[in-house]
Amino acid sequence: MSNDTSKANPIDGKETPEENESDKATWGPNAAIFVAALAFIISQLIGSALIFLVLALAGWPISRTENWMNGVSGGFFSILLIESLVILTVWWYLRHRKLDWRLLGFKRWPRISDVGATAIGFVVYYVLLILAVEAAEGLFHVNVNQKQELGFDTVVGTLQKTLTFISLVVLPPIGEEILFRGFLFRGLRNKLSFVWAALITSVCFASLHLLEGSGGLFWIGGIDTFILSLVLCRLRERTGNLWSGMFLHMVKNGIAFATLYIFVSK
């Protein structure tokens, strides 16, 4: 009987080794939820406070700081700081526990197979989203046309579009995938089944996006991000890495960016 523990990669059919016991996450659901919540609180509260403090020391009145924060440049630096603090919080925990950063899903560099997984994931996500939106509108009368508050209402010129692109398409997928599918899902999965780990992760992820709507909770955004997270969790589970999920997240946000700022004249 062979002792080979390799298995076929579900995307490209190539043989990839099973995870060794030493590769398994050594943090469980309690730590995963606590650190994820801590990262969110630190990034939101301390991030904003740092910006106001630095600009106050520079002599800016609060009104000027608020106006700048509502603009493209302020939004860019705010998101950059927030996502950086999220990643630093996770990094601090791993360093404190003497755990390998690769446990989050960075065991290797991206491959062509990750692109294939991204394409498959996008098709699955899009089909599920259409079905969910139809059900939400028809059965629960959810307002599917509610506007999302992104904080980038007036974007003019190449520089502002570039900063907006980085703020919406590049930075959030990196920070959110590391926190949710890299750290939270991995910690939950260490003790729970895939279904429960994916559901808890997706509920946490979607709940944050409920606050992004104009005129009340952004229910259609919550449905969208919940379904997206389920697909991202599945990609994380099947590939053993974050790359395909991160790419899919970027593609999804990139389509939204192009729709709002490139193909629609304002």
Which one, of 172, 174, 175, 151, lies nearest residue 73 by Cα?
151
The secondary structure of 143-168, three-state, reads CCCCCECCCCCCCCHHHHHHHHHHHH
- What's the number of CA atoms in the CB half-sphere (13 Å) around residue 25? 26
Report the number of distinct structural domains present in the chain.
1
Question: For residue 217, which amino acid is it?
Answer: L
State what percent of residues in the chain have pLDDT above 90.
72
Q: Is residue 3 assigned to a domain? A: no
Question: For residue 81, which amino acid is it?
Answer: L
Angle between helices 72-96 and 29-41 (to 10 degrees): 150
Q: Is residue 105 assigned to a domain? A: yes
Q: Is residue 78 assigned to a domain? A: yes
pLDDT at 145: 83
Whether pTM > 0.85 for this model: the answer is: yes
Identify the sign of the CA torsion 99, 103, 106, 108.
Answer: positive
Separation between Cα atoms, residue 107 and residue 103, nearest integer Å = 7
Q: Is residue 20 assigned to a domain? A: no
Q: What is the pLDDT of residues 117-135, one digit of tens each?
A: 999 999 999 999 999 999 9
Q: Is residue 19 assigned to a domain? A: no
- Residues 37-50 have a mean pLDDT of 90
CB 219 within 8 A of CB 132: no
Q: Is residue 15 assigned to a domain? A: no
Domain that holds residue 125: 27-262
Residue with tokens 């996008």: 122
Task: Name the region of 25 (left: φ>0; alpha: ψ -120 to 50; beta: rest).
Answer: beta
pLDDT at 99: 94
Q: Is residue 35 assigned to a domain? A: yes
Q: Which of 71 and 12 is assigned the larger pLDDT?
A: 71
Is residue 223 over pLDDT 80?
yes
CB 211 within 8 A of CB 130: no
Among the ranges given (55-59, 195-199, 243-247), the one the predictor scored with the smallest mean pLDDT: 55-59
Is residue 220 over pLDDT 60?
yes
Separation between Cα atoms, residue 183 and residue 187, nearest integer Å = 6
Q: Is residue 45 assigned to a domain? A: yes
Q: What is the pLDDT of residues 166-195, one digit of tens each?
A: 999 999 999 999 999 999 999 999 999 999
pLDDT at 214: 67
